[in-house]
Amino acid sequence: MEALFTNLGLGFSVALSFQNLFYCFMGVVLGTLIGVLPGIGPVATIAMLLPVTFTLNPTSALIMLAGIYYGAQYGGSTTAILVNLPGESSSVVTCLDGYQMARQGRAGAALGVAALGSFFAGCCATIIIALFAPPLAEVALKFGPAEYFSLMVLGLIAATVLAHGSLIKAIAMVILGLLLGLVGTDVNSGVARFAFGVSELSDGIGFVSVAMGVFGFAEIIGNLEQKGEREIFVKKVTGLLPTWQDIKDCTPSVLRGTALGSFLGILPGGGALLASFAAYTLEKKISKNSANFGKGAIQGVAAPESANNAGAQTSFIPLLTLGIPSNPVMALMIGAMMIQGIAPGPQVMTERPQLFWGMIASMWVGNLMLVVLNLPLIGMWIKLLQVPYRLLYPAILLFCCVGVYSLSNSPFDVMQTAVFGVVGYIWVKLECEPAPLILGFILGPLMEENLRRAMLLSRGDPLVFFQRPISLTMLLIAAFLLVIVLAPTVRKKRDEAFVEA
Amino acid sequence: MKVANGKDFWAGLMFIGFGLGFMGVANNYAMGTAVRMGPAYFPTVLGGMLAVLGVAIFLRAFVSKIPHPVGVFPFRLWFVVGGLALGVIAYYTQVPRDGGDVAKIAHELLAGVSIGLLFAAFGPRSLWVILFSVVAFGYLLKPLGLVLATGVLIFGSAWGGHEFKTREVTFLFVALAVFSVFAFVKGLGLPMNIWPAFLE
């Protein structure tokens, strides 16, 4: 316990330095700004702003990126409530009751509850990370290559199981991602694989290009395909502070949402999206007047908003302790860490306590900033939402292009991103979820490396993965997950859960 | 046999193509053994798995209970054929380093048209118009400078949308050009020239 306070003390001393406060603030503001725009989710936002952070020191860079993440998360719910358009996928459920509340003239209460619920969830999640990350990292330090390989298999399988849509396509996308991740120079032999003599490709495909092409460009084009005007229901928001009755109504929902979200966020493949869907379904199940849901129930805003914020933060646990991303945003964070020269994994905590604890403390600071910032700034976000999309998307494209170009000052990256824009469009049309692909893409080289090492140590005996207990356990869980999902009853439930919400 | 689910049909073909493609290319590298894996080992295994999954998805397309038409999105085969043909020509006719400027520009135009055709083969008009303006921005940024390249991108991508109001887009262009010069070049200090290289 004492160690926890010293650690958090160290963290706050880092996070509260003037410089880091500034970057946290910038991240939160930029994240909210772009998150408010419909159709641009956290992945595209982070990919777009990633190049800006390259010049910073690693701690500030990660603090800023984390700020962008929960800022975007937050901005998404504002859009959901005011325009009935999810700013990003995890606020899809917030649309249901949030927009209805706005139509009843209670937009202020909805926004206020979303903000305060998220803040509460953020505080809890920060403490959970501080409590659970260190022991988990201790365990992870004992992992050998076989354990790591099995852990990655488990992570990828879990990500496909929890993704919605066809399971077999999701697995195929993971494998395609792994393969794309292998493009470039092989560390062991020095052979430039799948580069076709293109010198830029021998460094590998840039993960910013993949993420921005698939999640940014493809989404913009998808948005343009759906004609139709957005209707902004509310011109002016009043009554942001919820009444006592509201607080009484939604305190239990916030608590349940936070607990559920924190738990789901830790699971590989989990994170904000799953958390918000699950929390909404749970609230609807246990509520006494579930008929109100979908018609402006305040619990239907409070629970998923708390859950997605809690989930967004606890999904940092597998990243910080194991070096395994549980969702595409975390995959981008790993990419950013690697560019900063930090190998993600359990050793980050012991080797760079400033970075580790500074980032955790900054999460709390960032959440506080979000509440302080967003409640008064809501008028500005409404103005921004009134700008027609036909003026917004060229601007978004420009920022994306400048960001990608500045990665290595070469047009090749821009070209590459455009190619992934086309491919991403095709994937969306064919109902192949790109999220598992990004995870595979980041893990491809790591997985190959660990497989090679494990096989070298076992002298070519593939049974090593089943002989080591931790490795075996993880493979069994992965197999178990696959079996459950393939079982007909669960399969039906899984489809329903995603359709319903 | 009738294709029930067009999305599965094309997705299956795509995964088979990628799987076999990766396996085929990996064939050029050393396989190694299970103990000392060569660069071809992991990609070959993964490519094989991907192709098998692709076959499963492809076959599912015929028995699927979820109906989707075979035409999932606009697709123009002749554009692909033409684009690939020009691309192959461009790949094998690299202009030597000391080649003339005219030859170089001609070669780049050829490559550009080939890429444009490939983009234009898929999806709605907005897809290729927007992505082609993005690529044009990338390649014009150095020779034309930030302001003019921004113009190409903004006018191009706005033209790709549904409504194009010249006055509105011009205003947007001026605002964004001023913003990006101050934010990116002056503020963040990105190494980009503002005006065309021959003017500076």
Q: How many other β-carbons are positioned within 10 Å of the β-carbon of residue A55?
A: 12
- Give pLDDT, residue A173: 93
| Residue A64, pLDDT score | 92
Spans of all domains in chain B: 6-63, 73-123, 125-200
To 5 degrees, how large is the angle CA A43–CA A47–CA A50? Answer: 130
Q: Which of B122, B157, B162 sits opposite A397 (nearest CB)?
A: B157
Cβ–Cβ gap B42/A194 under 8 Å: no
- pLDDT of A92 > 80? The answer is no
Q: Which residues of A touch B19 (CB under 8 A)?
A: 175
The answer to whether the Cβ–Cβ distance between A455 and B150 falls below 8 Å is no
What is the pTM for the complete model shown? 0.85
Look at residue A498 and tell me whether its pLDDT is greater than 60.
Answer: no
Sorting pLDDT into bands at 50, 70 and 90, what band is A285?
A: confident
Mean pLDDT of the A307-322 span? 86
Q: How many Å is the maximal CA-CA distance in chain B?
A: 66
Chain B residues in contact with A172 by the CB 8 A cut-off are: 11, 15, 50, 53-54, 57
Residues whose CB falls within 8 Å of the CB of residue B64, separated by 6 or more in sequence, listed in order? B4, B5, B8
The whole-angstrom distance between B4's CA and the closest CA on chain A is 14
Mutate to test the interface with A, among B15, B18, B36, B46 (most CBs of A within 10 A): B46
Each residue of A153-166: pLDDT tens digit? 988 888 787 766 78
Range scoring the smallest mean pLDDT among A224-238, A252-266, B56-70, B80-94:
A224-238
- Say if residues A266 and A155 touch (Cβ distance below 8 Å): no
H or E element, residue A184: strand A184-185
pLDDT tens-place string over residues A422-461: 999 999 888 888 888 988 898 888 899 889 999 888 888 8
A501 pLDDT above the threshold of 50: no
- Distance to chain B for A39, nearest Cα, Å: 15
Segments making up each domain of chain A, as ranges? 2-239+327-500
Q: Please provide the average confidence, as pLDDT, over all residues in chain A.
A: 83
Cβ(A369)–Cβ(A24) below 8 Å: yes
DSSP 8-state assignment for residue B73:
S
- Contact check, Cβ <8 Å, A391/B137: no
Dihedral of alpha carbons B110, B115, B116, B118, sign: positive
Do A422 and B191 make contact, defined as CB atoms within 8 angstroms?
Answer: no
* Alpha carbon distance A92, A99 (integer Å): 11
- Amino acid found at A34: I
Distances (CA, A) of A42 to A74, A88, B95, B186: 10, 7, 43, 27
Q: For B39-90, write each residue's pLDDT tens digit.
A: 889 999 999 999 999 999 999 888 877 778 877 788 888 888 888 888 888 8
Q: B154 and A451: CB-CB below 8 Å?
A: no
**With an 8 Å Cβ cutoff, is A456 touching chain B?**
yes
Interatomic CA distance for residues A37 and A386, integer angstroms: 10
Say if the Cβ atoms of B7 and A409 lie within 8 Å: no
Interface of A with B in 320-349 (CB under 8 A): none
Q: Is A452 on the interface with B (CB under 8 A)?
A: yes
Q: What is the mean pLDDT of residues B96-125?
A: 79
Reduced 3-state DSSP string for A298-346: CHHHHHHHHHHHHHHHHCHHHHHHHCCCCCHHHHHHHHHHHHCCCCCCC
Q: Give me the residue from A52, A390, A401 closest to B134, CB to CB.
A: A401
What is the percent of chain A where pLDDT is above 90? 7
For A374-426, the pLDDT digits (tens) are 777 888 888 887 788 888 888 888 988 888 888 888 888 898 999 999 999 99
Any chain B CB within 8 A of the CB of A199?
no
Query: CA of A176: which chain B residue's CA is closest?
Result: B50
Cβ neighbors of A385 (< 8 A, separation 6 or more) are A36, A38, A79, A82, A83, A230, A232
Residue A45 to chain B, least CA–CA distance (Å): 17
Task: Tell me what pLDDT residue A347 has.
Answer: 85
Contacts for B149 with CB less than 8 Å, ≥ 6 apart: B136, B137, B140, B141
A267 touches chain B (CB under 8 A): no
| A488 vs B: CB within 8 A | no
State how far the alpha carbon of B95 is from the alpha carbons of A411, B89, B108, in Å: 19, 12, 10
**Which H/E stretch holds residue A185?**
strand A184-185
Nearest residue in A to B141, CA atom: A411
Of B35, B73, B169, the CB nearest to A455: B35
Q: How far apart are CA A201 and CA A413, in angstroms?
A: 10
Residues B72, A459: C-beta atoms closer than 8 Å: no
Which residues in chain B are closer than 8 Å to A462, comparing Cβ atoms?
34
- Report chain A residues whose CB lies below 8 A from the CB of B52: none
Which of B55, B130, B168, B194 best tests the A interface by mutation, with the highest count of A CBs <10 A? B130
Confidence at residue B51, expressed as pLDDT on a 0 to 100 scale: 95
Predicted pLDDT of residue A113: 86
In this complex, do B150 and A393 lie within 8 Å of one another by their Cβ atoms?
Answer: no
The total of other beta-carbon atoms located within 10 Å of residue A227's CB is 9
Residue B124 three-state SS: coil
Of B25, B50, B158, the CB nearest to A176: B50
Confidence of residue A500 (pLDDT cuts 50, 70, 90): very low
Query: A179, A413, A417: which to substitute to probe chain B, counting the most B Cβ within 10 Å?
Result: A179
Size of interface A-B (CB pairs under 8 A): 188
